[in-house]
Structure 1
Amino acid sequence: MLNRYLFALLATLLSGSIAQAQQFPGRTPTPNDTLVSPRILPDNRLTISIYAPKASEVTLMGDLLPTYTPVKLVKDEKGVWTHTLGPLAPNVYTYDLNVDGVKTFDPKNAKFKESQNGISNIVEVPGKETAYLAVKNVPHGRVESVWYYSSSLSDTRRMHIYTPPGYDQLKEALPVLYLLHGGGDNDASWTTVGRANFILDNLLAEGKMKPMIVVMPAGHVPGKGPAMGAGPDQDPFAKDFLSDIIPYVEKNYRVSAKREHRALAGLSMGGIQTMNIALFNPDKFSYVLPLSTGYFPPVLEELEKKYTSVLKNPKINQWKLFWIAMGGEKDIAYQNNKNTMALFDKYGIKYKYIEVPGGHTFLAWRDNLYTFAPLLFR
């Protein structure tokens, strides 16, 4: 009896497979079936390819290009477009393809960076220089995608929160680093292309930093462009941050609410937000770290005209660390930053300054995080 049932089931499945094969006949193979992109060559050159036989032009853009100027891919007789560049220094790079004027994701590369307006590909060129951000056999923290209601914005919003390895077993309240992204990015950027969680995991495994919770909120708000003015009143995100994000974190996570256990860092737009929030609320933080940022000249004038009392607040110089970083002279915010530091000098605001290679990209910002995280909460 059992064998008869098994035979009937097998016959049913077989007849279904035959019918499906007749309905969807095998397609003609294409070069895309075996295409590999990106390919890292032995000498650290990188080849990027895409199958687009009907396209008339394909270009490549990303921080893997030395001048950030788009380059054209070359089409072969099979319809595969290819460009080889480098050799590249070991690092994690982002890139975008453009096919006949349309930004296109490399379909052969599943690694991506999520941003405010879409996704970009990521490729890692391995080497000893990337050991600090590599995925290693060490205890790993957890990254949570957290949704919360913002009463100040009347909107449900998302942030990413990193908790260190062993967080569930820890009894003491942990310090918090609030880590802000730049214009065009979003709350996922620090843990995709930024590799923040792996950088922190490795630092903790080596005993180089204190365990901490890292909160990575969404800096853009509905219906608003990047906020680059003076003071928190010009940026609705600042209200969300102070009224909703900090209270949410302190209610739902085992963290300290003391100012000496709060750090605020951000890059580019997030660096402006960092300064606007911290300078105007100096009693809420002990570590303030703006990266690749600076006020524009009209905003500097506004600060001096309207907010001299803020610049003269002695509590600013009570921070344990005011740490400013730039990606060298190639950083697009370089001059704005110099102007901003000149204003700080004029009002006696003390800070530490560092430059690293990388320009206005995560090539610099990952290095910044690796350098400043061990300085926190000592």
Structure 2
Amino acid sequence: MKYFLPLLLACSSVAFAQPTRPNPTPNDTLKSIRVSANNHIVLSIYAPKASEVTVMGDFLSEYKPLALAKTNAGVWSVAVGPLKPDVYTYDFTVDGVKTFDPKNPHYKEGENGLSNLFELPGKESEYCAVKNVPHGTVEKVWFPSAVTKNTGRMHVYTPPGYETMKDKLPVLYLQHGGGDNDAAWTTAGKANLILDNLLAEGKIKPMVVVMPMGHPAPGFHMEPGTDTDPYYKQLLTEIIPYIESHYNVSAKRENRAFAGLSMGGIQALNIALFHPEKFAYVLPLSTGYFPTQLKTLEEKYSTQLKNPEINKLKLFWIAMGGEKDIAYTNGQNVLKLFDKYGIKYKTNDYPAGHTFITWRHNLYEFAPLLFQ
């Protein structure tokens, strides 16, 4: 018996050291996203001590917070819809503090934190859904940058079967907007899934897609020109050479495309006007210079506006998110200026506003136009 007593005491100590299980709460079984009849969505969060909870999301018709109602059990909920099947972002705010939904692991990464995502399945959202098709690979790539004296990051998509492909592939440089980062196009943007599905349908050619960090230095650079923002030097002297030396891709102009949204759309406009010899396809999305910037562009850079290389682009495709797009007026003013200088372009419109709902559909539409 004396041999078992220390063992029993040790086991007893371990048992008493274990934390007690918390009392059950409604949060244990809570589903923060529930699909109800006719594509209505119920959003919920457990916050028993909160006095106010709101939600913002790109499913709202107006860009203002929507209040949730509290039940006696401490669960706050609100119903929205009906919604068109697609992928949506949302952010809860609890007593004035942006709060990540802990019951939902799907998110969009950004410079200012995380936003949640939910997918409403249906025929309309199949373009970006996970399907039983061959899937490409998304790599998170770190590279040394002498431009920023730091380590840069980008995400790189390679198509299914890339490892056995002998021919050099074309490259799409796909830029995010202000406040987001290089992960945005594969989280909220579903770029890899859109391309996988298009490839499976035989609608696009295999391509490598490079998604760099769009603001390697602090601050937003929305001005015309490529001298003040270190992004352009990093892109042209570091990122493109890195991709062309580490991946099986073509270095020819006709096999390079550049697309970007919002702030990345300004970068696309600058690429088209100041470096049209580097790319054959340029696709600005939901963007446009502000009036003072347009004035600077015309007064300071009229030579660039008259550059004949711009009209040698195989495709200059300018898309907007309809009149709800916050950049809509700026975009229209840019088109007027281009008309004045005889710059040729094509336009596209997906009227979902300044949101990844628009930009996913933009990618789905322009990808088949590339490298033909």
Letter in 2 for 1:307: Y
Out of 109, 119, 124, the residue aligned to residue 119 of structure 2 is 124
Distance 1:230 1:306 in 2: 9
Q: Establish whether residue 71 from structure 1 lines up as the match of residue 55 from structure 2.
A: no
Q: Matches of residues 1-378 of structure 1 in structure 2 within 5 Å?
A: 16=11, 19-20=14-15, 23-222=18-217, 224-378=218-372
Distance 1:80 1:358 in 2: 31
What's the CA shift string for 1:105-141, capped at 9, x where partnerless?
A: 0111110000111000000001000111110000000
Letter in 2 for 1:121: N
Distance 1:314 1:128 in 2: 44
- Report SS of the residue matched to 1:215: strand
- Report SS of the residue matched to 2:153: strand
- Report SS of the residue matched to 1:186: coil
- Report SS of the residue matched to 1:324: strand
- Report SS of the residue matched to 1:233: coil
Deviation at 1:282, TM superposition (A): 1.0
Q: Is the 8 A contact 2:258 2:281 kept in 1?
A: yes
Structure 1 runs, 4 residues or longer, greater than 2 Å off: 11-23
The 3 A distance-change label for structure 1 pair 19 and 44 is: same
TM-score (structure 2 length as normaliser):
0.96
Distance 1:17 1:161 in 2: 54
Q: State the percentage of identical aligned residues.
A: 64
Q: Is the 8 A contact 2:152 2:216 kept in 1?
A: no
Q: Is the 8 A contact 2:266 2:289 kept in 1?
A: yes
Deviation at 1:276, TM superposition (A): 1.0
Deviation at 1:16, TM superposition (A): 4.4
Distance 1:302 1:357 in 2: 30
Letter in 2 for 1:136: K
The 3 A distance-change label for structure 1 pair 14 and 280 is: farther
Q: Is the 8 A contact 1:357 1:363 kept in 2?
A: no
Deviation at 1:347, TM superposition (A): 0.5
Letter in 2 for 1:217: P
Distance 1:291 1:344 in 2: 16
Letter in 2 for 1:68: Y
The 3 A distance-change label for structure 1 pair 17 and 168 is: farther
- Report SS of the residue matched to 1:157: strand
Note the residue ranges of structure 1 that are not aligned, 5 or more in a row: 1-7
Q: Is the 8 A contact 2:320 2:348 kept in 1?
A: yes
Distance 1:95 1:250 in 2: 37
Letter in 2 for 1:290: P
CA RMSD of aligned residues (A): 1.6
The aligned length equals 368
- Report SS of the residue matched to 2:38: coil
